[in-house]
């Protein structure tokens, strides 16, 4: 679609306050692409409603997620920032791709199994076909690169399969995207249970550090973080709690794992956890200040939404025109 630059697409759900896992594993790295790629960063509100939402809360968090994008360094002048439901082509292509996705493929998605277990009273069709809508999000913009967390890698593989299947039937239609997973901070784990990923929906408040948590709350959560037997600050498979804290400290300070281990050699977990909390809080302070400024200016955020959705809709229309023509829909929108 853009001959001068390759295309990057990623989206974040407005289903809760974003965590440092979202920040380190995804959003912080988004800005790195702005100069060399054409970037689409989307607030995926349509994905959020697979789980029941309070309408007023969803609306507020949509504004807040957009504000966090900008506060974390995404310049609306250099990136296309928009809300998914403002571009109808996402839902349209999602339905079309449903018809080119096999039931068995969707039934194997581990996130469907996990979310079904958590929402046993609301196992809806959208929860099942969520990965196909995600494929539509990506393929609409002919995306070459998709920053994703490790937990979304399976969905990206399905997106590639769908694109290849469609291209085989109808000829060259979609770019087949590749995943981008930051190696050092691919998966930030829970502070309460370092065997599972940090989640913004975790019911245990001490398990998750949110981007907007005040400094005293951040430090308290790190002080309560689960560690391991012994007292040595060392990155090892048999020390998941400490290893997770080392990864977080390394990501916020830019220090290597070896440098972190040497810095805290001979010191106990208490000193280390306090240092991790302070490093995290200090790094997030400017983000929080910019977020507060942005959320006080609703008109500005709506202007960003409007301009972003117009640009995204224009570009998505090119793909949809090609798709409709390929499989025989009549199209009066040319």
Catalytic site residue from 78, 153, 197, 223:
197
How remote is the C-alpha of 228 from its chain's centroid? 29
Concerning whether 197 is annotated as a catalytic residue, the answer is yes
Concerning whether 78 is annotated as a catalytic residue, the answer is no
Beta bridge partners of 79: 39
- How far apart (Å, rounded) are the C-alpha atoms in residues 194 and 188? 9
- How far apart (Å, rounded) are the C-alpha atoms in residues 53 and 58? 6
Concerning whether 5 is annotated as a catalytic residue, the answer is no
Catalytic site residue from 115, 221, 239, 273:
115
Catalytic site residue from 78, 153, 187, 200:
200
- How far apart (Å, rounded) are the C-alpha atoms in residues 91 and 313? 12
Quote the strand ranges of the chain, DSSP E: 6-12, 37-43, 79-83, 145-147, 178-180
Neighbouring CB atoms inside 10 A of 150's CB total 13
- How far apart (Å, rounded) are the C-alpha atoms in residues 179 and 173? 19
**Unique residue bearing structure tokens 């810095």:** 263
For residue 176, what are the CA distances in angstroms to 79, 163, 201, 254?
A: 21, 6, 31, 33
Residues in the chain: 334
> What b-and-e string marks burial along 202-233, b requiring 16 or more CB atoms within 10 Å of the CB?
beeebbbbbbbbeeebbbebbeebbbbeeebb
**Unique residue bearing structure tokens 């691919």:** 186
Taking only Cα atoms into account, the Rg of the chain, rounded to an integer number of angstroms, comes to 21
- How far apart (Å, rounded) are the C-alpha atoms in residues 2 and 127? 32
**Unique residue bearing structure tokens 């430090």:** 219
Active site residues: 115, 197, 200
């Amino acid at each position: 679609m853009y001959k001068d630059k390759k295309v990057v697409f990623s989206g974040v759900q407005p289903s809760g306050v974003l965590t440092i896992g979202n920040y380190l594993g995804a959003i912080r790295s988004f800005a790195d692409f702005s100069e060399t790629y054409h970037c689409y960063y989307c607030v995926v509100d349509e994905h959020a409603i697979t789980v029941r939402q309070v309408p007023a809360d969803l609306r507020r968090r949509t504004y807040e997620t957009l504000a966090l994008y900008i506060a974390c360094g995404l310049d609306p002048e250099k990136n296309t920032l928009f809300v998914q439901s403002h571009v109808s082509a996402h839902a349209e292509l999602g339905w079309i791709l449903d018809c080119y996705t096999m039931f068995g493929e969707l039934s194997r998605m581990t996130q469907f199994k996990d979310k079904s277990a958590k929402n046993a009273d609301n196992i809806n069709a959208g929860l099942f076909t969520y990965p196909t809508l995600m494929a539509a999000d990506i393929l609409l913009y002919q995306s070459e690169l998709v920053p994703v967390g490790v937990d979304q890698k399976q969905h990206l593989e399905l997106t590639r399969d769908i694109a290849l299947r469609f291209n085989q039937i109808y000829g060259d239609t979609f770019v087949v995207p590749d995943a981008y997973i930051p190696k050092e901070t691919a998966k930030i784990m829970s502070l309460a249970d370092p065997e599972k990923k940090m989640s913004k929906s975790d019911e245990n408040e001490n398990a998750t550090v949110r981007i907007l948590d005040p400094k005293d709350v951040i430090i308290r959560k790190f002080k309560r973080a689960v560690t391991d037997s012994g007292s040595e600050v060392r990155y090892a498979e048999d020390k998941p709690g400490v290893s997770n804290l080392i990864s977080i400290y390394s990501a916020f300070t830019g220090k290597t794992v070896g440098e972190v281990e040497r810095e805290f050699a001979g010191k106990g977990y208490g000193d280390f956890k306090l240092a991790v909390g302070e490093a995290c809080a200090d790094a997030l302070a400017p983000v929080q200040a910019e977020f507060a400024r942005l959320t006080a200016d609703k008109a500005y955020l709506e202007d960003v939404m409007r301009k972003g959705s117009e640009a995204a809709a224009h570009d998505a229309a090119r793909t949809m025109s090609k798709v409709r023509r390929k499989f025989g829909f009549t199209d009066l929108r040319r």
